[in-house]
Amino acid sequence: MSPRRDTALATLRRLDLDVAAVSADGPPDDRLGSLLEGTDGAALADALGELGGETTARLLAEKAATCTDRALRKALRRAVFRLGQRGVAVPSIEPPREPVAVAGPDVEGFVSAFDGRGDRLIWLVRPHSAGGVLLLAAEINEPEGLRDVRLLEATRKDLRSARERLLNDTGLRLVPADSRALDALVVEAHERAGAPDRQHDYLRLRPRLLSVPPAPARELRSSLAQPPTDDERPALLANPSELLSLPELRAWWPRREAAAPFIEEIAAVRDSPLVLGPMQQEERLAGVLARAAASLFPSDAVVRRLEGTAYVLAETGRVPAARQVLAAAQELRSGVAAADVPLLRALVQQTIGTLLASEESRRQEERRGSLVLTPSEALTDPRSSRPGRTRA
């Protein structure tokens, strides 16, 4: 066994990757994309160049075509070349997209997934004459538009540290994206927000980075995740439970005040003095959840949130999850109600269930020792059989 192969095997073991899966021609490990973007990216690329198969070659070529980090791009291209030397069929590496025309150096773009409130971050980065960079950081809400925009001077080290801090502290991952497409999204968000003050005026700051008219705004699409066909969609929609564990969707919690009316309505159904049969109670609860889904996840806004999140998932190597999310977006676009889309129904049930449990725990604490019991408490609380207690 050669030293190069020994090193490659050691790298895969250290990153807890299965050698057989890397060498096979089936779907790649979902973690490969994010690992290639991390601190071990170049070492992993070298290892994959030694041990990978055709599927790995395609992933490496796709990453090399869009990578903006010069050292990592070189390692990815070297790995594809090495696989070709070993007799693996490798695709050609398409050149990076043409950079947006600017008055000076190129502009790089980075974007995050949406959170549960519809917010995401967009960064536009341009090299500065003093050796650092100009960073334009925008916070955009869907559907409200531009919330905040700032232009800062920083260093490349500052940018790397900020991205790592965001990921470690909040789970928010910023991934590369076409700067002109991101610029168009920020312009659109600026216009939707109305007449902003100077601190929130993107059009005032934009000339510091770009000198061309904005392109038409449209949601980001990753070339790594093909939109599901009509035949594929049912299977992709069927099991959304795994999606709820993803960091990008685990944060899809609406504001507590937005969910509060539905929490109160469910609590009222449960505490009602009317004795409802299981079927009647289930029907009422289903109606509340359907209204909650329509209110907390309005279709027009959520379609774009899902599509933007799918882009981040695909660009970080989680293509199957990205296609599941795209399938949910397609359902909404076709007119299906939010409550009838399995992913959104699961999100609503998770949100309402967790907040309801928290609210009931708070209420029980407040009522501890109370002489008055609600109808539901009267049926279950052992105090109700004691003399001297009053039942509501």
Domain locations along the chain: 3-85, 108-208, 233-380
Best CA proximity match to 71, nearest among 50, 90, 43 = 43
**CA separation, residue 373 to residues 241, 291, 357, 361, 391 (Å):** 37, 29, 18, 15, 5
Percent of the chain clearing pLDDT 90 (strictly above): 28
Name the pTM for this structure. 0.63
Query: Does pLDDT of 391 surpass 50?
Result: no
Contact (CB, 8 A) for 15 and 33? no
Greater model confidence, 268 or 247? 247
**Which range among 62-76, 86-100, 200-214, 316-330 has the greatest average pLDDT?**
316-330
- Asked if 141 contacts 112 with a C-beta cutoff of 8 angstroms, the reply is no
Return the number of other C-beta atoms located less than 10 Å from residue 255's C-beta: 10
The Cα 271–Cα 385 span in angstroms is 19
Q: What is the 3-state secondary structure (H, E, C) of 29-67?
A: CCCHHHHHHCCCHHHHHHHHHHHCCHHHHHHHHHHHHHC
- Helix, strand or coil, per DSSP, at residue 146: strand
- 238 versus 130: the higher-pLDDT residue is 238
Residue 90: is it exposed, middle or buried by C-beta count within 10 angstroms (0-12/13-18/19+)? buried
Average pLDDT of span 330-337: 92
What are the tens digits of pLDDT across the range 131-168?
A: 788 999 999 999 899 999 999 988 888 888 998 888 88
Residue 142 and residue 329: Cα distance in Å, rounded?
Answer: 14
What is the rounded CA–CA span in Å between residue 271 and residue 122?
46
When pLDDT is cut at 50, 70 and 90, the band that residue 121 belongs to is very high
- Given a cut of 80, whether residue 239 has pLDDT beyond it is yes
**313: closest CA among 18, 59, 165, 113?**
113
- How would you class 47 by CB atoms within 10 Å of its CB: exposed for 0-12, middle for 13-18, buried for 19 or more? buried
The confidence score (pLDDT) of residue 353 equals 76
Q: What pLDDT shows up at residue 202?
A: 92
For residue 85, the surrounding DSSP H or E stretch is helix 70-85
| Contact in structure between 289 and 194 (CB atoms under 8 Å) | no
Residue closest to 185 by CA, chosen among 99, 101, 114, 134:
114
Element housing 111 (H / E): strand 108-111
The reported pLDDT for the residue numbered 179 is: 93
